[in-house]
Structure 1
């Protein structure tokens, strides 16, 4: 009879532990869901950048400098830094601020202008071309083409979407596309919504495919630096 009592006792212990775990999970959901709901309803209040201004400054940069992508980037970053000096990383011409980004099978160079919990603004592009999966994200993504073209495809269509320099490709939150950036395509990419969940997509290729520890380290350091800086000055 003793072994049976032991088994019963063990089963009771497991049941009790599971109940405690489920209770804790339920309490955490009950605690954080109202916070998430309130923040979600008020996300607009946390955004720094204006869509019309990003479109306008990109268009003016293209009109002023044509095919000189470096000058376009300098023009955009200089104006953004003047308008938002506490929120913009102005070091576009510092080599250490640029690093590769591998995500969804696509690869390109990236420079982080701004990163926070609710927004990121980057320059992303490649001189040799790339193609991949856009990801399905928790933020709206606005892709302002500065040079070259971006192509996109949605299943069921029989023609590609073409976004030339000066155009903007808006990826709505939760949607997904196949995209391609042929040779010499660079863009100002702006995401607004919940940024942290997007980081898993951004890091996955580096962790499970390229194993490029140095690039992962630089990405984490710069992203973290910008996010923490914006939290400290009261912007999420």
Structure 2
């Protein structure tokens, strides 16, 4: 049977080993954090190099689609996709597959035209109106109104921002608003910045409220397929 002094030495050795293991783990975590921060910093300073869509072109395209098709939303969407697929065939999804989207208390449907690490382009809207929270995002969001009207509100203001067809609502990175589509409204929505963190906002209502798992699965499948496809083309 070990003596009291032997048990004390054994306990001290185990304690030292545990402390050393925790110290090594913390050191590794610190190193990984520093490495990740460095990668994000470098990538952040070079985000513009990853973008394939041009802001001016998208705004002009949205305006032309409105001028050409008026309240014919289907025609406007096809006009947009046809031009983009001719200009950027490797980056545009021409398969018009609509899926419901619940986010920030609002509900509508979307057709994902492009999804990658630094950009997404969708057609989003509803034929019956909706209202909700924009979310606070890691990307700039440009909401090009095609049909209908969008309204937005920020605390401290007494009048709404109003965005008619042909206009663009720019939600700057890190900002937040309340928004409303009083009636039928569809828009071409383009975001540029860090897209993956935005997915949490897009899935939160489905996981905590609607529990519409088939829609969540379909959204995940389409988004994942498009993002992986872009990564295979070296598009981040």
Regarding TM over 0.5, the answer is: yes
Deviations 1:27-60, CA, capped at 9 Å, x for gaps: 1022222221111111001100001111111111
**Alignment RMSD (CA, Å):** 1.6
- The 1:99–1:12 alpha-carbon spacing in structure 2 relative to 1, beyond 3 Å, is same
SS of residue paired to 1:235: coil
Deviations 1:152-204, CA, capped at 9 Å, x for gaps: 11011111111111110001111111111121101000000000111111111
Q: Note the C-alpha offset of 1:88.
A: 0.2
1:119-134 pair list within 5 angstroms: 119-134=119-134
Match for residue 57 of structure 2 among 47, 53, 59: 53
Match for residue 38 of structure 2 among 13, 34, 37: 34
Superposition TM-score, scaled by structure 2 size? 0.93
Matched, 1:24 2:28: yes
1:1-236 pair list within 5 angstroms: 11-92=15-96, 97-236=97-236
Q: Which runs of 5+ in 2 are unaligned?
A: none
SS of residue paired to 2:200: helix
Q: Which segment drifts farther, 156-165 or 32-41?
A: 32-41
Q: Note the C-alpha offset of 1:7.
A: 6.6
SS of residue paired to 2:125: strand
- Mapped partners of 2:181, 2:19: distance in 1: 54
SS of residue paired to 2:91: coil
Q: Note the C-alpha offset of 1:143.
A: 0.3
SS of residue paired to 1:112: strand
- The 1:7–1:110 alpha-carbon spacing in structure 2 relative to 1, beyond 3 Å, is farther
Superposition TM-score, scaled by structure 1 size? 0.93
Deviations 1:52-78, CA, capped at 9 Å, x for gaps: 111111111100111111110010011
Q: Which runs of 5+ in 1 are unaligned?
A: none
Aligned residues: 232
Higher-Rg structure is 2
- Mapped partners of 1:227, 1:53: distance in 2: 22
Q: Note the C-alpha offset of 1:12.
A: 4.2
- Mapped partners of 1:26, 1:49: distance in 2: 36
Q: Note the C-alpha offset of 1:20.
A: 2.5
Q: Note the C-alpha offset of 1:17.
A: 3.6
Deviations 1:110-140, CA, capped at 9 Å, x for gaps: 1100000000000000011111111111000
- Mapped partners of 1:78, 1:122: distance in 2: 14
